[in-house]
Chains A and B, each alone.
Chain A
Amino acid sequence: MGQNIKIRRGVDIKLNGAADQKSSPTSTSTVAIKPTDFHNLIPKLVVKQGDTVKAGSPIFYDKLHPEMQFVSPVSGEIAEVIRGEKRRILEVRVLADKETVFETHDVSNASNSDATAIKELLLKSGNWPLIKQRPFDIVADPGKSPKAIFVSAFDSAPLAPDYNFILKDRGEDLQTGIDALAKLTAGKVQVVTATNAGVFGSLKNCERHVVNGPHPAGNVGVQIHNIDPVNKGEQVWVVNPQDLAAMGSFLRTGKIDINRTVALTGSEVKAPQYFNVTLGTAVEALTKGNLNDGGLRVISGNVLTGDNVGGKGYLGFYHHQVTVIPEDDEPEFFGWIAPGLNKFSLSRTFFSWLTPNKKYNLGTSQHGEERAFVMSGEYEKVFPFDIYPVQLLKSMLVKDIDAMESLGVYEVAPEDFALCEFGCTSKIDVQEIVREGLDLIQKEC
């Protein structure tokens, strides 16, 4: 049986706008698939504007792994290819048909296939990108064999969706997914939950662990670090539970599962709740008529790690949550001395410590300007790794690969530093530094 782990360092940022446990259907006329969701991927387009595709037809593939297909979530017409600087592809938009026509794959033998066959099936059907890897937090390298595959069955981020609610009827899909993953690793599939109850409690063919504590307890990186840490040269793969169910559904039906249940959350949502959406949906399909007035930031993902997609943007490939918070760029008059009852802080320098259970409507203000590192011990309070975060960051800033390796760079992803970034007195963009550090290691090693 798995371990029972208590995480002590971390913090739950209490925000208004948690989703009610009910879900409604939505419809979207366009979807987008964004190569930028897959970090360091070099996409090679196989369609052009005006082509018609089915749900599950390839849109682009990975230049380094041509067998890895990225597919359309709907059937319809390629409406537009949005490019950025240096003609980098940012988005491929697909105009959806009324009725979705699927590309079908033969999965009749899936339950008896070996690892190679499963891999091939997942790669060509467009399911492979659902698997990510540590180190580097990128799409898993199909040429490698991981020492374990982790599924974090709960999300502890602010206002995060509850997978026990989303997946309550998907036990069979989850089990099929796990059975397939189990063949891909020499080790075990490790499923980490917050409680033993719910749909994950009855899964077999895997090792289950219970992790408790404040965010980032639900971050898979924290769980890997505590259960089976990544050493140099090793790989651990990770899959989000809803993506795992989608993979299982595909292996049972032969059709790509394009449905996701997404939580619409945040203080600026009138009625926060869950929605059944199509992968890559326009966020407008969820937010229309459901937002407060004023300057808003619509985030695909959570407030710590999500992407600012704007009101007209599209849901990210790995996101299961949309958060809407107020934009805030108002200067504060003598903000450094004001009591600050409405400010949330990890320190007790604002009088908001008088109301520890208060929930906040936090906006996007940075609350100050960037400074040099001054405070010490601050990151450590919210960084439950046996790693020295500031020293690791400094080694990344000076691009010292040896130091990065010895300080544990293979065990971290930008999201693990999100709370450090949140709490940083000096307003340093920590996640970006971590990402650049990882990119450097990936390039050099």
Chain B
Amino acid sequence: MKLFKNLFDSLRPPFEKGGKFEKLWPLLDGFETFMFVPGHSTKKGAHIRDGIDLKRTMITVVIALVPCLLFGMWNVGHQHFLAVGQDAELMEKFIYGAIKVLPLVIVSYGVGLGVEFIFCIKNGHSIQEGFLVSGMLIPLIMPVEVPLWMVAIATAFAVVFGKEVFGGTGMNILNPALTARAFLFFAYPTKMSGNSVWVATDGMATVDGFTGATALGNAVEKGMAGVPPYMDSIMGWIPGSIGETSVIAILIGAGVLIYSGIGSWRIMLSMLIGGYVMGMIFNAWEANAYMQIPAHHQLMLGGFFFGMVFMATDPVSASQTATGKWIYGFFCGLLGILIRVVNPAYPEGIMMAILFMNVMAPLIDHYVIQANINKRLKRAKVAA
């Protein structure tokens, strides 16, 4: 520990103002504050402060994502060996999956942090931690067979146009991770949908009856007949984006987020209600086979839970008022299921719904706050 401290102390001079690498200061600062939470003491205001900082907050979210990541790795292997008709041990599946998934994680973090560093150097800011979470979210919402260069482009696009153009962490309107996915969805539709990207086959011959389609893809064609059993949908051993399939793993993450106070339970709960309500409406309508899927089963499919727990709750792009969060979450759920069922060309209605509600969130907050303002005005008039 002392060793690292001395190392940083000896490294610092050329990076300081007037030094040779003055412009690269954010780089050194980023690494140093990564190893040591800086020892600033309070100068103004409250003399003691909460132990939490943005790094801790972001790391807590990353920890909440670990169950999804681990399960996703296993499931990639599991789906692979199912598809090619081989038996495999748990570790074998996991290692196969890890080999497939880790490069995505590395590319996402490498490109994202690289872009962030460039912006920080250019603006002379210190590194803000927002990307720690985005960098983990991006691979988890990708199909396993997505080419690495696409992940790189999408990540760069998301960081630049999803975040930095608005002023960086805390200023963005859209969730950066979903921006990355939406970018790929519209720019490379053939690689982000269809039946060939969800299961890694490595070009090997597949067993009879294997389609590689996701539950949502099947549901569009065959309705309930194409959907995996309820328990499989919850446990998550079905094809899909890497991290989205297991409701159990996601709920462990949700537990961490809610208990630690980082994630908004209001948004999660209201989105669940919204999705369920829309599911029930379709169940009552029953215009096609897709609509007949019971609401409680509908919610377990696709990215609904992952979006609910990790995407909709992004504090920067969600509504910020408590009342606003209820409204925002409800419509995320409602619209998500609506888009998914009514327009099968967009199987991932959840992504669309959350991005749409990200844009609407400031408007919702505006009306919630206006109500508070009106209440105050009324009180002043009564008093006057």
Q: Which residues of A contact B (CB under 8 A)?
A: 13, 229, 231-234, 297, 299, 303-306, 308, 323, 325, 327-337, 340, 343-350, 352, 362-369, 371-377, 380, 386-388, 390-391, 406-408, 414, 418, 421-427, 429-432
Contacts and interface: CB of A to CB of B under 8 A. Distances in A.
B49 A388 contact: no
A156 to B, nearest CB: 15
Given A331-B39, A349-B260, A232 B47 contact: no
A386 B375 contact: yes
Contacts of B373: 406-407
A336 B41 contact: no
Chain B, interface SS category: loop
B383 A369 contact: no
Task: Choose among A344, A376, A408, A423 the residue with the greatest number of B CB atoms under 10 Å from its CB.
Answer: A376
23 contacts: A304-B46, A304-B48, A330-B39, A331-B38, A337-B59, A345-B51, A346-B50, A347-B57, A364-B41, A366-B42, A367-B53, A368-B49, A369-B40, A371-B53, A374-B54, A377-B325, A390-B320, A407-B369, A408-B376, A418-B46, A423-B52, A425-B53, A429-B45
B45 A418 contact: yes
A325 B383 contact: no
Interface stretch (B87-95, B166-174, B198-206, B278-286): B166-174
B321 interface: yes
Contacts of B167: 372
Given A231-B384, A336-B56, A347-B262, A368 B46 contact: no
Interface of B: 1, 4-5, 33, 35-42, 44-57, 59-60, 126, 128-130, 167-171, 259-262, 264, 315-316, 318-322, 325, 365, 369, 372-373, 375-377, 379-380, 383-384
B32 to A, nearest CB: 9
Given A345-B51, A349-B52, A377-B264, 19 more contacts: A13-B48, A234-B383, A303-B48, A329-B41, A332-B39, A336-B55, A347-B57, A347-B261, A349-B51, A365-B41, A366-B41, A368-B37, A368-B38, A371-B129, A374-B130, A407-B369, A407-B376, A430-B45, A431-B44
Nearest to B55: A336
A349 B54 CA distance: 11
A348 B260 contact: yes
Contacts of A306: 47
B265 to A, nearest CB: 10
A305 B51 contact: no
A391 to B, nearest CB: 6
Nearest to A346: B50
Contacts of A421: 45-46, 49
Contacts of B50: 344-347, 367, 422-425
Contact of B57 (A303, A349, A365): A349
Contact of B372 (A233, A323, A387): A387
A372 B57 CA distance: 13
B383 A372 contact: no
Contact of A374 (B59, B315, B377): B315
Contacts of A423: 50, 52
Contact of B41 (A328, A340, A346): A328
B372 A376 contact: no
B48 A343 contact: no
Nearest to B40: A366
B382 to A, nearest CB: 9
B54 A368 contact: yes
Given A231-B379, A347-B262, A367-B51, A336 B59 contact: yes
Given A376-B318, A377-B320, A425-B53, A365 B47 contact: no
Given A336-B56, A386-B375, A343 B35 contact: no
Contacts of B55: 335-336, 368
Contacts of B38: 331, 368-369
A395 to B, nearest CB: 10
Given A333-B1, A344-B51, A432-B44, A372 B37 contact: no
Contacts of A367: 37, 49-53
Task: Choose among A306, A377, A426 the residue with the greatest number of B CB atoms under 10 Å from its CB.
Answer: A377
Contacts of B315: 374-377
Nearest to B383: A231
B168 A372 contact: yes
B160 to A, nearest CB: 17
Contact of A425 (B46, B57, B168, B383): B57
Given A334-B35, A408-B376, A430-B45, A369 B320 contact: no
